[in-house]
Amino acid sequence: MRAKRVFAGSARFSCRQDTMIENLYELIGGHRTIEAATERFYKKVLEDDNLRQFFKRTDMAHLRSRQVMFISMLFGGRMYTGKDIHSAHALARSHGLNHAHFDMFIQHFRAALQEVGVEPGHTEMILKLLERKRSAVLDPWP
């Protein structure tokens, strides 16, 4: 059985930023909002001809649950017990995942957050956090 890493927190932040990130999880509505946004996000992704290719053999229920956990952790919520973000995207990178695709994912997540009622200022904070993960997702070496 393969060991899973446990991640707590999204990155190194100053004390003020830590508080802001922890508050962000609650400010946007916590688990319920993240779950709803993730559901809408993957609906959009799977309808996108440019992105659906990366999920042909993916257990989407499992991916959604891991993504909710990861996003929750990133915003100051619960722990994440899945693969690290670089390893999780290795297969997609080998199938051509690039910056244009990442931009499309960000656009779909923005739309999903708006649809579930996340305030524009909070949406921008969230997207900045996700943008910080670009190199971990796309770079061939960690």
Give the other-Cβ count within 10 Å of 94's Cβ.
9
Separation of alpha carbons 60 and 54, rounded Å: 11
Amino acid 20: pLDDT: 53
Chain mean position to CA 31: 13
Between 99-115 and 120-131, two packed helices, what is the crossing angle to 10 degrees? 150
Residues 15-138, CATH architecture: Orthogonal Bundle (1.10)
On the question of pLDDT at 9 being above 50, the answer is no
Average pLDDT, the chain: 86
Specify the DSSP class assigned to residue 80.
B
Provide the token pair at 106.
């960000």
Q: What is the mean pLDDT of residues 70-96?
A: 89
Identify the band that residue 7 occupies on the pLDDT scale cut at 50, 70 and 90: very low
Provide the token pair at 6.
């446990």
Domain boundary assignment for the chain: 15-138
Amino acid 21: pLDDT: 57
Amino acid 82: pLDDT: 81
Which residues are registered as beta bridge partners of 80? 7
Identify the band that residue 100 occupies on the pLDDT scale cut at 50, 70 and 90: very high
Q: What is the mean pLDDT of residues 87-104?
A: 96
Of the two residues 20 and 25, the one the predictor is more confident about is 25
Q: Is the pTM of this model over 0.85?
A: no
